[in-house]
Amino acid sequence: MKKTLLATAIVSALVSATAGAATVYDQDGTTLKVGGRAEVRGLFSDSVDGTMEDKSRARINFGGETKISENLTGFGFMEYEIKSGASEVKNRYLFAGIGTKIGDFSYGKQDSANVQVSDFTDIASEHSGQQQYVGAAKDKRDNNFLYSGTFADALTVQTNYIANGVQEFDKDGNAQTASEDAFGISAVYAFDFGLDLGASYSDQDEENQATLGATYTWNDLYVAATYAMGATDANTDFTSLEAAVQYKFTKEFRLMGIVGMAEEDDGATMDTEDFFALEAQYRFNKSIRTFASYKLNNLDEKEVGKADSENELMVGLRYNF
């Protein structure tokens, strides 16, 4: 998992996530890539009314870069998503920036600095990625200034600042009160024998999060663990642990296992995550894959409610373009 020294690393990482992004323009030092996915997914759970809930979605993204001078590069990225049954198109990413010899400087809707560490264990199609716990540590944050630099082809440092005026939204998309300024910093060091170590800190008003992570890659085996701790407000502390393992049996077939645990303490301790997930994934080629992911939920129904304590199965077919 060696880190690169390219000034356009942010754009490259996001566009490569589609695996099949195509270069549609490349002339005079300017390139444009278009990518996306069409993903049909079905969720089976006792909390679902009827046989299966349709969780299908589609995304399209555009990433571009242009050479300004020998040491300067301009770049931009945007991605949109629409989910089954939704009438609105959601903006996931929208940012632009300048790449220099000392790193990339960008502004817009983009990930917080914590994400490069929390992504260590966010490897599954559905049941992983719980370490973006507080708002300041999450991905896809508006009004976000980000610096990312790689040094000696081994140490990647990121820092971000989310300016005042950002609005938080509830699960239905309704605007809540404006949040306070937020900031974060993270560092990942990649050793040349397959081990990566990372740490991050995020802070916003009365909430904060520190995250530690480690990954190890050996041939077809990948293992990772992340641990987060902090406070969601002045009266509530939390801890969270996520571990992930992936093994590629063949070029096409791989298995993933995820373990997640989290608890909050506001005077009384309550589990908020306690699960094991197993995912089987078959990639026919770089464009199309299918997967099945089963989550065994160990949460107490009396504490969190029936819907949040159910086991569930997600199956899907995804086409990248």
DSSP sequence for 115-154: HHHHTTS--SSSS------SGGG-SSEEEEEEEEEEETTT
Q: Do the beta carbons of residue 289 and residue 282 sit within 8 Å? A: yes
Phi, psi (deg, nearest 5) at residue 81:
-140, 145
Task: Yes or no: say if 185 and 201 are a contact pair by the CB < 8 Å rule.
Answer: yes
Q: Which two tokens stand for residue 188?
A: 């990942």
Q: Is 97 exposed, middle or buried (0-12, 13-18, 19+ CB in 10 A)?
A: buried
Spell out the domain ranges in the chain: 9-320
Tokens found for residue 43: 């969720």
Model pLDDT for residues 247-265, shown as the tens digit of each residue: 999 999 999 999 999 999 9
CB 22 within 8 A of CB 286: no
pLDDT for the residue numbered 180: 81
pTM (2 decimals)? 0.88
Residue 216 makes CB contacts below 8 A (sequence gap 6+) with 194, 195, 196, 222, 223, 224
* Residue 303 CB neighbour total at 10 angstroms: 11
SS3 16: helix
Report yes or no: 67 and 30 within 8 Å, Cβ to Cβ.
yes
Residue whose tokens read 């304590």: 309
238 in Cβ contact with 264 (< 8 Å): yes
Predicted local confidence at residue 304, as pLDDT: 66
Q: What is the pLDDT of residue 312?
A: 93
Q: For 177-235, what is each residue's pLDDT tens digit?
A: 556 899 999 999 999 999 999 999 999 988 999 999 999 999 999 999 999 999 998 88
What is the distance, to the nearest Å, from the Cα of residue 161 to the centroid of all Cα atoms in its chain? 18
b/e sequence 192-204, b meaning 16+ C-beta within 10 Å: eeeebbbbbbbbb
Query: Looking at residue 305, what is its pLDDT?
Result: 66
Please tell me the distance from the alpha carbon of residue 308 to that of residue 293, in angstroms, as a whole number.
17
pLDDT of res. 309 = 78
Which of 76, 186, 57 lies closest to 120, judged by CA?
Answer: 186
Cβ atoms < 10 Å from Cβ of 127: 21
pLDDT, residue 5, reads 37
* Residue ranges, the chain, pLDDT below 70: 1-20, 165-179, 302-307
- Placement of tokens 């997967």 in the chain: 291
Residue 306: predicted pLDDT: 61
Q: Strand, coil or helix: what is 247?
A: strand
Furthest-apart CA atoms within the chain: distance in Å: 63
Q: Tell me what pLDDT residue 167 has.
A: 58
Distances (CA, A) of 134 to 200, 260, 267: 13, 16, 19
CATH number belonging to the domain at 9-320, selected among 3.30.420.40, 3.90.550.10, 3.40.50.2000, 2.40.160.10: 2.40.160.10
